[in-house]
Chains A and B, each alone.
Chain A
Amino acid sequence: MPKLLCSMPNFDTVTHYLHEWSKKIVEDAKMRGFDVYPLDGPNATKQNFESRLNKNNPKFVFLNGHGDPNMVCGHKGSDGTPQPILINNVNDGLMKNRIVYARACKSLETLGRNCVEKGATAYIGYAERFMVLFDPVRYSRPLGDKIAESFMEISNIIPSVLVKGGTVKEAVERSFQQFLKNVEYQEAHYTSETPLILSCLIHDMAALGAIGNPDAKVT
């Protein structure tokens, strides 16, 4: 049975939106017969992350949270700052034989590349900051935020394709195709938000990339 580990910190605006949209992937994966190990909210710690990897050996690791070139974070610590769970040259070797999708800023080029050099099957992530325009009125219900949907839908396609049996290459290509559709939609339904939505969508897509085996599958 395929296995998915999904980190879902939830303590600020960004992580709240990522958390809510990740639920869709968790549910989808369960429906498709995956054993799913969510690290939800305060449970998204380095200790729990490493414990789940060692105990359950998931092939697919889906990380949500803050990031930089050397780390992807989980939940906040007692000091209120995001705490790293995957760290360059510390526990990146734990990604060996796994497919990783990091919906986090800037982790692709350094952390992602090192994970693959240490045996990860593939690492999909972003080389730059991840931008999301949103409607603060919808904060309590991110799934109903039509502005943020343009961004979250495109990024959710990647884990969605992977749990459906698609390859790494297919996952990023499908995300790109959805991006093109969203651009067309935004241009055809022009509102005052359109210029900023489009510039941010283009920015995010330009930052997306993958390293590793393009033909790899989770299932």
Chain B
Amino acid sequence: MVSQDEIDIVLTRLEQLMPPTVKLMVGGSGPYSKEELLNEIKENTEIGKLVVESQMLYLRSFRNKEILETIRPKVAAIR
């Protein structure tokens, strides 16, 4: 679940920071240019939400590096 505040933060960041020369592949969707990605976020699509969530996780990890430890991949042991 992403809030409007988070959407606004990520839109502002990407508008200012994302270079127009790169594209993003999101699984079988895309690739997305900067403008296309911004539209996905504005329209609150599944892809837009994923990008907002990943940006917010990154911003939180920027302030607190311990967050990176929480995403250490799990091995669910079933023998």
A133-B73 CB under 8 A given contacts A195-B13, A196-B18: no
Interface range on chain A (Cβ under 8 Å from partner): 35 or more
Question: Which B27-49 residues have C-beta < 8 A from chain A?
Answer: 27-31
For chain B, give the interface size range. Answer: 20 to 34
Among B13, B58, B68, B73, chain A packs the most CB atoms within 10 A around the CB of: B73
Shortest C-beta distance, B53 to chain A (Å), equals 8
Known contacts A199-B54, A214-B75: A17-B25 contact under CB 8 Å: yes
Footprint of B on A, CB under 8 Å?
13-14, 17, 66-67, 82, 105-106, 116-117, 128-137, 147, 168-169, 172-173, 175-176, 180, 183, 192-193, 195-196, 198-200, 202-203, 205-206, 208-214
Given contacts A129-B50, A192-B19, A193-B19, contact A200 B24 (CB under 8 A): yes
Q: What's the minimum C-beta distance from B2 to chain A, rounded to whole angstroms? A: 13
Q: How far is the CA of A176 from the CA of B79 in the complex (A)?
A: 23
What's the nearest-Cβ distance from chain B to residue A163, in Å? 19
Contact in complex: B22, A210 (CB < 8 Å): no
What would 17 more interface pairs be, CB under 8 Å, given A17-B25, A173-B73, A211-B78? A13-B30, A13-B31, A14-B28, A82-B28, A132-B24, A135-B22, A137-B21, A172-B75, A183-B68, A192-B19, A195-B17, A199-B51, A199-B55, A202-B58, A203-B53, A208-B73, A212-B76
